[in-house]
């Protein structure tokens, strides 16, 4: 959109220089803010004239039917910026834009890139600061779907499906009939008669009921394990 606006601004400057005197022509100066704003307004008026021909040519009130694109707009469209009730509490009304069109897609894409490829609500809020888009949520969704950068950041992670549990896990049986085994530690224990010595926790878990039983062993040898297992 920026490139289109700059090209239009240079074309408008060329037409102005053709009609102006030699001493009034702007040749090597940079584009001013007013020239850029005027070029953008020309494109907005062009797409409005193409999308809303009846409302543009009407000199007075016109009947609004339910199927009209601007039927959902409030009768007085303005934005409150202050709580003080004076003339400075109102901003100029936003420009009404249609849903379709190449220029409109460029405007939405520029807002999407300016907001660093954020989500739907953020882009729609930034767009409505200057324009009021007919069915704007639908238009922004369409722009987001076409943005590869946003799709990469918003993509869902691949989560493989969990396989079925083995029959031993889901078949009803007595507690601790089927168990899982693990060791935790080392820990250091002591009593009044002996100094601190190393110990481990033998953890038995029932794989059906998820019940837990703990045993203390002083090493991880087979003899100590069989003693705890019994």
Strand 212-217 and strand 179-189: pairing?
unpaired
The strand pairing partners of 180, in sequence order, are 205
Please give the model's pTM, rounded to 2 decimal places: 0.48
pLDDT tens per residue across span 58-116: 555 666 666 665 565 555 444 444 433 444 444 555 677 777 777 778 888 888 888 88
Domain boundaries, the chain: 1-54, 91-156, 170-229
pLDDT tens per residue across span 143-185: 888 888 888 887 777 888 888 888 888 888 888 888 888 888 7
Q: Is 112 helix (H, G, I), strand (E, B) or coil?
A: helix
pLDDT tens per residue across span 186-224: 888 887 777 888 888 888 888 888 888 888 888 888 888
Helix (H) or strand (E) holding 222: helix 222-229
In 3D space, the residue among 81, 136, 79 whose CA is nearest the CA of residue 105 turns out to be 136
């Amino acid at each position: 959109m920026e490139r289109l606006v700059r090209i239009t601004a240079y074309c408008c400057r060329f037409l102005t220089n053709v009609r102006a005197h030699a001493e009034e022509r702007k040749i090597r100066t940079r584009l001013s803010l007013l020239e850029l704003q005027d070029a953008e307004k020309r494109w907005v008026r062009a797409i409005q004239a193409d999308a809303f021909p009846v409302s543009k040519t009407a000199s007075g009130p016109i009947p609004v039917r339910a199927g009209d694109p601007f039927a959902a707009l409030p009768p007085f469209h303005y934005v409150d910026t202050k709580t003080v009730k004076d003339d400075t509490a109102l901003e100029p009304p936003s420009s009404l834009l249609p849903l379709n069109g190449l220029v409109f897609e460029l405007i939405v894409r520029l807002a999407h890139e300016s907001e660093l490829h954020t989500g739907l609500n953020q882009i729609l809020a930034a767009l409505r600061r200057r324009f009021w888009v007919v069915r704007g949520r639908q238009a922004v969704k369409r722009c987001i779907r076409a943005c590869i950068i946003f799709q990469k950041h918003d993509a869902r992670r691949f989560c493989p499906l969990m396989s079925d549990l083995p029959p031993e896990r889901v078949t009803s049986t007595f507690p601790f009939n089927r168990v899982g085994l693990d060791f935790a530690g080392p820990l250091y224990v002591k009593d009044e008669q002996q100094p601190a010595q190393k110990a481990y926790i033998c953890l038995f878990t029932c794989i059906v009921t998820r019940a837990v039983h703990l045993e203390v062993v002083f090493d991880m040898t087979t003899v100590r394990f069989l003693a705890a297992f019994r």
